[in-house]
Amino acid sequence: MVSLRCKMVVHEELNNLGIKHAVVDLGMVEILDDITRQQREILKENLLKSGLELLDDKKSILIEKIKNVITEMIHYAEEMPKENFSDYISEKLGYDYTYLANTFSEVKGITIQHFIIVNKIEKVKELLLYDELNLTEISYKLNYSSVAHLSNQFKKITGLSPSFYKQLKIKRKNNLEDL
């Protein structure tokens, strides 16, 4: 669960099934009472219809927790942590970073670092579309060492330079206005 909509869907499904719960948070639900096998299966089916998944095994749950910490850190926090991402993730989840990194790579087929870069580039794209910050400000906000470093990563992931990406947005907007 990485959005408010996801949380609302889960909360609604739990209420519809009469499942008492205390917390519905990113990737986690705290259930107050035991639930029946039938309630669990219905919940699983209903969540799948909404594009959500009920995770059972410990590795999948840990991977979701890692993804949620990264998503929250990049997309929802006011500012990026000043400490290394590895230290931040390790501290948040209470596991050694090497264990987290190995498990993540084994299950997802990419490194945590690559997942972070992809998410940072998605955030850059979002900020470029909002047009409230220039590239220097975006670079600073996302803790890049320089605008050049951000631009290089952006091009490596998207195949486009940030300025070309921004021009595409302007062209799309102009095309829509011509309709």
Q: Domain limits of the chain?
A: 1-54, 57-179
Q: Which of 16, 62, 170 is nearest to 70 (CA)?
A: 62
Residue 55 CA to residue 53 CA, distance in Å, equals 6
Q: Which residue is associated with the tokens 């940030």?
A: 162
57-179 has which fold? Arc Repressor Mutant, subunit A (1.10.10)
More confident residue, 154 or 51: 154
pLDDT at 178: 56
Report the mean per-residue pLDDT for the chain.
Answer: 87
Mean pLDDT of 161-167: 91
Residues 6+ apart with CB under 8 A from 92: 69
Express each pLDDT in 130-149 by its tens digit.
888 999 999 999 999 999 99
Express each pLDDT in 7-61 by its tens digit.
888 888 888 888 887 777 766 777 778 888 888 888 888 888 888 877 667 888 8
Q: What stretch of H or E contains 88? A: helix 85-93
**Pairing between β-strand 28-31 and β-strand 21-25 as defined by DSSP bridges:** antiparallel
Residue 141 CA to residue 124 CA, distance in Å, equals 10
Express each pLDDT in 105-131 by its tens digit.
998 999 999 999 999 999 999 999 888
How far CA 172 is from CA of 131, 142, 158, 164, 175, in Å, comes to 14, 26, 18, 12, 5
pLDDT band at 76 (very low <50, low <70, confident <90, very high): confident
